[in-house]
Amino acid sequence: MSRDKTQNILQDLNQLGWDDFFEQRFYPLRDHGYIQGRITRETHHIYNVHTASGVHTAQISGLFHYSAVVRSDYPTIGDWVAMTESGGTFVIEKILGRKSAFSRKTAGRAIDEQIIAANIDVLFIVNALDGGRNFNLRGIERYVTMAAESGARPVIVLNKADLCEDKEQALREARFSEDIPVHLVSALTGEGLDELMENYGAVTVALTGPSGVGKSALINALLREERARTGEQRQDDLRGRHTTTHKELFFLPGGMMLIDTPGLKELGLWADEDSIKRTFTDISEIARECRFKDCSHQGEPGCAVQQALTEGRIDRSRYENFLSMKNEISFLNSKMDVRSRLERKSKEKKLSKMIKNFYK
User: Hey, what's the torsion of the CAs at 164, 166, 167, 169, to 10 degrees?
Assistant: -130
Is the per-residue pLDDT at 202 higher than 80? yes
Q: Where are the domains of the chain?
A: 3-95, 101-260, 280-350
**Of the candidates 47, 35, 99, 50, the residue with the CA atom closest to the CA atom of residue 74:** 47
pLDDT-based confidence at residue 132 (cuts at 50, 70, 90)? confident
pLDDT at 6: 42
What would the pLDDT profile of 236-248 be if each residue is shown by its tens digit?
Answer: 545 545 454 578 9
pLDDT at 81: 97
What would the pLDDT profile of 302-349 be if each residue is shown by its tens digit?
Answer: 999 999 999 999 999 999 999 999 988 888 877 765 455 445 545 545
* Average pLDDT value over all residues in the chain: 85
- How many whole angstroms separate alpha carbon 122 and alpha carbon 258? 10
Domain 280-350, CATH 1.10.40.50 — does that match?
yes
Which CATH code of 2.40.50.140, 3.40.50.10320, 2.20.70.10, 2.70.98.10 fits the domain covering 3-95? 2.40.50.140
Domain 101-260 superfamily per CATH: P-loop containing nucleotide triphosphate hydrolases (3.40.50.300)
